[in-house]
Amino acid sequence: MRSRAAAVVLAWIAATGVAQADDAHPPFREDAAPLARLDIVDRGLGPEAWAENLLSGPVEVVLRARGPTPAARPALPARATVPARGRVLVARVERNDAQLLLEVVPGHPGAKPRDIEYAWPLGTRSLRITQGWGGGSSHRDDENRHAIDFAVPEGTAVLAARDGVVMQAEARFTGGGPRSTDDIGRANFIRLLHDDGTMALYAHLAPGGVQVRQGQRVRRGERIGTSGNTGYSGGPHLHFVVQANRGLRLVSIPFRMFGPGGILRFSEAAGGVE
């Protein structure tokens, strides 16, 4: 499962000193809401590049130039961490004809994961895993190496496995299946931010299957959504993964979980559960 883990925002610095930011959506074809907005403002002292965070949790950004790198303070590429719903000046640029790119990754780069036992994230007592840690289908990259795909019928209740804040949610997509790569990244999902800075992703939810709002605080065991089969998927399931920002890249984290029959022991070597 490929989530909307990162985005690139593109802007031209116009002669007026104000540019309209445009979310370019690489590297996936998708229409999910943008993570951040890049605003170029000139208050008479030269163009300023501001990053506005649109999520209910921190993001890390880096400002780069496409083509020749203009002089800037600080020099490009320039990094910044933007708090939830916050706005930060990333750099002052000394040229008004530069093209700027803002890369955005959810989460604070200083997150310090705690050893937590996660609750069962589904309103069912059955357990069937179609792809585990290190699964060859789509769990080989850093973002998803420690993800689990729980096979459940569409319409199954999805529960919060840990207390958190709804950092990001998407419920508008309707299509899904294994055949077209156009569906990569087009899965409905909820991203919950935990108090240690880690984030849990609940993905492939049903169309309209998000039952919480961005910024809402939820408790462990609370219903947050409905499972589905949206996005690039081999069948109805819940994709669950815990991630942390490790400096402009998301990395999945091993986790412990209490399942329907007791403690689940996941193993990358086994590709599932012991």
Q: What is the 3-state secondary structure (H, E, C) of 165-227?
A: EEEEEECCCCCEECCCHHHCCCCEEEEEECCCCCEEEEEEEEEEEECCCCCCEECCCCEEEEE
Query: What pLDDT was estimated at residue 140?
Result: 65
Amino acid at 154: E
Q: Is it true that the peptide bond before 27 is cis, omega within 30 degrees of 0?
A: yes
- Cα 212 to Cα 32, 33, 118, 123, 126, distances in angstroms: 17, 16, 19, 16, 25
Contact between residue 27 and residue 21 where contact means Cβ atoms under 8 Å apart: no
- 160 alpha carbon, distance to own chain's centre: 16
Cβ neighbours around 135 below 10 Å, total: 19
What is residue 34's DSSP assignment? P
262: nearest Cα among 146, 99, 125, 77: 125
Q: Are 202 and 174 in contact (CB under 8 A)?
A: no
3-class DSSP state of 234: coil
pLDDT of residue 113: 96
Strand pairing category for 272-273 and 266-267: antiparallel
- Domains for the chain: give ranges and CATH numbers: 7-106 (2.60.40), 117-273 (2.70.70.10)
The pLDDT assigned to 6 comes to: 54
Per-residue pLDDT in tens (0 to 9) along the chain, 274 residues:
544 455 555 443 332 222 233 333 333 334 568 899 999 998 877 899 999 999 999 999 999 998 899 999 999 999 999 999 999 999 999 877 889 999 999 999 999 999 999 999 999 988 888 765 655 565 667 788 888 899 999 999 999 999 999 999 999 988 776 654 545 567 899 999 999 999 999 999 999 999 999 999 999 999 999 999 888 777 798 999 999 999 999 999 999 999 888 888 776 654 555 4
Q: What per-residue confidence (pLDDT) applies to 97?
A: 80
Q: What is the pLDDT of residue 135?
A: 53
Q: Which of 207, 208, 225 is nearest to 216 (CA)?
A: 225
Given this model, what pLDDT does residue 144 score?
A: 83
Residue 63 has a CB neighbour count (10 Å cut-off) of 24
What pLDDT shows up at residue 4? 42
- Closest to 231 (Cα-Cα) out of 204, 199, 267: 204
pTM summary value: 0.85
The residue to which tokens 């993964």 are assigned: 241
Rounded distance between C-alpha atoms, residue 38 and residue 21, angstroms:
5
> For residue 151, with 0-12 CB atoms within 10 Å meaning exposed, 13-18 middle and 19 or more buried, which class applies?
middle
